């Protein structure tokens, strides 16, 4: 934007002074009531010409001549220009609608935290800019001024989108004034005025964006759920602030001050945005130093990722020396967020290890801890791209082979070729099991504690198998180990419950030596039947209430029980029922038919109590 050629011919000095004095706002009411730059162009040009003439005469006359005549004129002119400058800035600021500041972006994010993607309806009034960068802007031109052009420029980072804050004619006028103020040595006043007006414009945009002023104390006190909402809002707002708001302010400074002296545009820019930028980042900083607890991990990662994506834009917008502190602060916050994420993971591992609940879960089913942990590490695998970069060292909780009974042993070297993050996940599963192993001891019934382990480890396996990322990170080796463990638990359960029951159906001890007539001790046989009935009834009664939530596992275990129980009973019945039936009250001893047993096995592990009266009997 070049100044127009000076209006010839030159204005004589006395005439120039008259013009200046006419517009001295301290001297006349009339001068106070009107603004020069609101008048027609002729008036404006005349004034500027007068200023130029005064300046010219100062530089050409020697110091002592008429100093006091020309001097005051300069000051009066500069004071006037300062007011004009302020007035143009204030009255020509394009009012930005709140929703036109909203940047809907279509960036990819982890599925669990995808930002809502919606496009706003276009109405006839607004200019609609949609570009290949997939960014959408609605720019409402219902401002107070006439020619508004949406000027979207592409810079080196494709995500920066500047908008016009002040229409170009006003910018031109501002530049005219700035040049003259600065060449008269009134740079400081110029920066002051510019900074104070633009700063309140930025403040008002902040309010429209809903950027809150929260102290660190406030952030510590708020509930995490409330903070999650605020973080989400902050991420949206920060993108708009850096990529549009600050970038546009920077461009405005360049438009007005570029070439008019060194680094003045930088000074004005910093004057305008330093405070607001610090205010913006203070929130993220407050989050980064908040107390660590596991539920915060994922929002903190969101915040970290958002800030990291914003860094190139921050570096671009705040590229001058005087804005070092802002870039440094942003980098500090980023690294604190990373540290927080690491700390939270560690904290989570501790919490899993220490989780103290002793009340056994009824029915031996899946413990809430197991669900929580597996959901948590599922989410971790969703965030694995970021976390793989942040987590670079192996778990420190617990020590290998420390001999400390309160932590499990694990040799991390065994797990080859896995990322540190994956090792952490495996470790988490290890300590989960360790914790569960402790919990299962609270069951009075050993069978139930085995069932409990079986249920929970199986659940772990299912969750891992159900997620491709998890499976890849946990690895098939460890998965095999886990599978083995729950099968082992199933076997232990069967041994604990059924060995005793099947013991009733064994052959030894029933035959008496000697004598042809009866090879079988009737009394022993009766005892056996009674014992079997009692045991089975007890087992049936108790274990119907137990639960195996996974239907397939439930089926498998029942089949496995049946496979051992039914043939054994069938053969026992077959061999010995005649001996009982030949005696008195056989119904007291043979209470179950094979079909009865088959039916009853189906009741097992349903979690539903069975009333003994409902038991079908067949003779």
Partner 1 sequence: MSMDHDSELDDLEFFQKHVSDRFSDLLSSTIEDPSSEPLLSIAWLRKLLDDFLCCEAEFKAVLLMGRDPSQISKPPLDKLIPEFLERTIKALDLCNAVTLGIDAVKNLQRLAEIAVSSLEQAPIGDGQVRRAKKALSSLVTAMLHEDKDGGIVKGTERNRSFGRRGGNNAAANNKGNFRSLSWNMARNWSAAKQIHAMSSNLYTPRGGESTGLAMPVYIMSSVLVFVMWTLVAAIPCQERNGLGTHSPFPRQLAWAQPMIGLQEKIAEEWKKKEKKGSVGLLEEMQKMDKVGQSLIDFAESFQFPAEAEKLEEVKGQVEELAEICTKMEEGLEPLQQQIREVFHRVVRSRAEFLLVLEQAGKLSAPPM
Cβ 222 to partner 1 shortest distance, Å:
12
Residues 158-187 as x/- pattern, contact with partner 1 by CB under 8 A: ---------------------------xx-
List all residues 6 or more positions away from 519 whose beta carbon is below 8 Å from its beta carbon: 511, 512
Query: What is the DSSP-derived secondary structure letter of residue 356?
Result: -
Considering beta carbons, is residue 73 or 573 the nearer one to partner 1?
73
- Nearest-CA neighbor of 319 among 211, 240, 242, 239? 242
Question: Using CB under 8 A, which of 109, 115, 192, 488 touches partner 1?
Answer: 192
CB 93, CB 166: distance < 8 Å: yes
Q: Cα(398)–Cα(392) distance, rounded to whole angstroms?
A: 17
Question: Using CB under 8 A, which of 189, 437, 445, 598 touches partner 1?
Answer: 189
Which span (69-77, 118-126, 498-506, 557-565) binds partner 1, by CB under 8 A?
A: 69-77
Considering beta carbons, is residue 144 or 196 the nearer one to partner 1?
196
Q: Is 78 in the site for partner 1 (CB under 8 A)?
A: yes
Q: Is 82 in the site for partner 1 (CB under 8 A)?
A: yes
Residues 265-294 as x/- pattern, contact with partner 1 by CB under 8 A: ---------xx--xx--x------x-xxxx
Residues 262, 264, 265, 266, Cα dihedral to 10°: 90
DSSP-assigned states of every residue in 103-171: -B------GGGPPP---PPP-TTSEEEE-TT--EEEE---SSSS---------SSTT-----SS-HHHH
List all residues 6 or more positions away from 97 whose beta carbon is below 8 Å from its beta carbon: 138, 140
Question: Using CB under 8 A, which of 372, 394, 483, 598 touches partner 1?
Answer: 372
Question: Using CB under 8 A, which of 22, 72, 120, 533 touches partner 1?
Answer: 72
Cβ 103 to partner 1 shortest distance, Å:
24
Q: Which residue has the tokens 């010995």?
A: 576
DSSP-assigned states of every residue in 310-330: HHHHHHHHT-SGGGHHHHHHH
Residues 27-46 that bind partner 1 (CB under 8 A): none
Cβ 375 to partner 1 shortest distance, Å:
11
Residues 342-371 as x/- pattern, contact with partner 1 by CB under 8 A: -x---xx-xx--xxx-----------xx--
Q: Cα(305)–Cα(503) distance, rounded to whole angstroms?
A: 63
Considering beta carbons, is residue 442 or 554 the nearer one to partner 1?
442
Cβ 391 to partner 1 shortest distance, Å:
18
Cβ 439 to partner 1 shortest distance, Å:
13
Interior angle at CA 39, CA 9 and CA 255, nearest 5:
80
Backbone angles phi, psi at 66, to 5 degrees: 45, 30
Which span (148-156, 214-222, 502-510, 550-558) binds partner 1, by CB under 8 A?
A: 214-222
Q: Cα(264)–Cα(266) distance, rounded to whole angstroms?
A: 5
Q: Is 560 in the site for partner 1 (CB under 8 A)?
A: no
CB atoms within 10 A of CB 616: 9
Considering beta carbons, is residue 62 or 146 the nearer one to partner 1?
62
> Which stretches of the chain bind partner 1, using CB under 8 A?
25-26, 63-64, 67-68, 71-76, 78-79, 82-83, 86, 185-186, 188-189, 191-193, 195-196, 199-200, 203, 212-218, 220, 274-275, 278-279, 282, 289, 291-295, 325, 332, 336, 343, 347-348, 350-351, 354-356, 368-369, 372
């Amino acid at each position: 934007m070049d100044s127009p050629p000076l209006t010839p011919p030159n204005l004589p000095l006395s005439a120039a002074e008259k013009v200046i004095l006419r517009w001295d706002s301290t001297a006349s009411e009339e001068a106070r009531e009107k603004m020069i730059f609101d008048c027609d162009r002729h008036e404006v040009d005349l004034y500027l010409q007068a200023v130029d003439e005064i300046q010219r005469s100062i530089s050409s006359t020697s110091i002592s001549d008429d100093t006091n005549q020309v001097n005051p004129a300069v000051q009066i002119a500069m004071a006037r220009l300062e007011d004009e400058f302020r007035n143009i800035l204030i009255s020509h600021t394009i009012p930005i609608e709140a929703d036109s500041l909203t940047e809907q972006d279509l960036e990819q994010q982890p599925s669990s935290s995808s930002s809502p993607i919606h496009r706003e309806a276009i109405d006839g009034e607004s200019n609609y800019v949609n570009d290949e960068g997939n960014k959408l802007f609605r720019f409402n031109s219902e401002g107070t001024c006439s020619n508004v052009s949406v000027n979207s420029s592409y810079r080196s980072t494709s995500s920066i989108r500047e908008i016009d804050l002040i229409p170009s004619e006003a910018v031109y006028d501002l530049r005219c004034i700035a040049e003259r103020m600065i060449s008269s040595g009134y740079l400081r006043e110029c920066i002051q005025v510019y900074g104070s007006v633009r700063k309140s414009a930025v403040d008002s945009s902040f309010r429209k964006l809903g950027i809150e002023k929260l102290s660190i104390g406030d952030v510590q006190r708020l509930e995490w759920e409330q903070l999650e909402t605020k973080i989400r809002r902050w991420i949206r707002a920060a993108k708009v602030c850096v990529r549009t708001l600050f970038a546009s302010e920077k461009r405005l400074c360049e438009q007005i001050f570029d070439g008019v002296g060194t680094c003045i545009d930088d000074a004005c820019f910093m004057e305008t945005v330093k405070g607001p930028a610090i205010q913006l980042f203070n929130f993220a900083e407050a989050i980064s130093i908040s107390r660590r607890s596991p539920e915060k991990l994922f929002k903190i990662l969101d915040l970290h990722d958002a800030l990291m994506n914003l860094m190139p834009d921050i570096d671009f917008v705040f590229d001058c020396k005087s804005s070092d502190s802002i870039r440094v602060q942003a980098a500090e916050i980023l690294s604190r967020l990373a540290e927080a994420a690491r700390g939270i993971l560690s904290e989570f591992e501790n919490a899993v290890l220490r989780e103290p609940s002793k009340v056994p879960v009824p029915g031996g089913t899946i413990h809430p801890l197991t669900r929580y942990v597996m959901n948590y590490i599922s989410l971790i695998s969703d965030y694995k791209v970021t976390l793989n970069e942040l987590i670079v060292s192996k778990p420190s909780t617990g020590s290998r082979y420390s001999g400390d009974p309160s932590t499990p042993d694990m040799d991390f070297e065994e797990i080859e070729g896995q990322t540190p993050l994956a090792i952490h996940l495996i470790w988490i599963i290890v300590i989960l099991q360790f914790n569960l192993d402790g919990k299962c001891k609270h069951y009075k019934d050993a069978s139930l504690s085995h069932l409990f382990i079986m249920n929970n480890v199986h659940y772990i396996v299912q969750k891992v198998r159900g997620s491709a990322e998890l499976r890849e990170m946990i690895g098939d080796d460890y998965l095999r180990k886990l599978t083995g463990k729950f099968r082992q638990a199933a076997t232990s359960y069967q041994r604990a419950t059924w060995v005793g029951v099947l013991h009733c159906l064994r052959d030894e001890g029933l035959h008496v030596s000697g004598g042809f007539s009866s090879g079988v001790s009737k009394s022993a046989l009766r005892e056996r039947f009674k014992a079997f009935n009692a045991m089975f009834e007890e087992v049936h009664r108790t274990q119907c209430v137990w639960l195996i939530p996974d239907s397939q596992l439930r089926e498998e275990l029942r089949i496995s029980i049946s496979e051992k129980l039914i043939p054994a009973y069938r053969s026992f019945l077959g061999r010995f029922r005649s001996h009982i039936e030949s005696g008195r009250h056989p119904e007291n001893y043979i209470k179950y038919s094979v079909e009865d047993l088959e039916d009853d096995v189906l009741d097992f592990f349903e979690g539903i109590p069975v009333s003994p009266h409902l038991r079908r009997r067949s003779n």
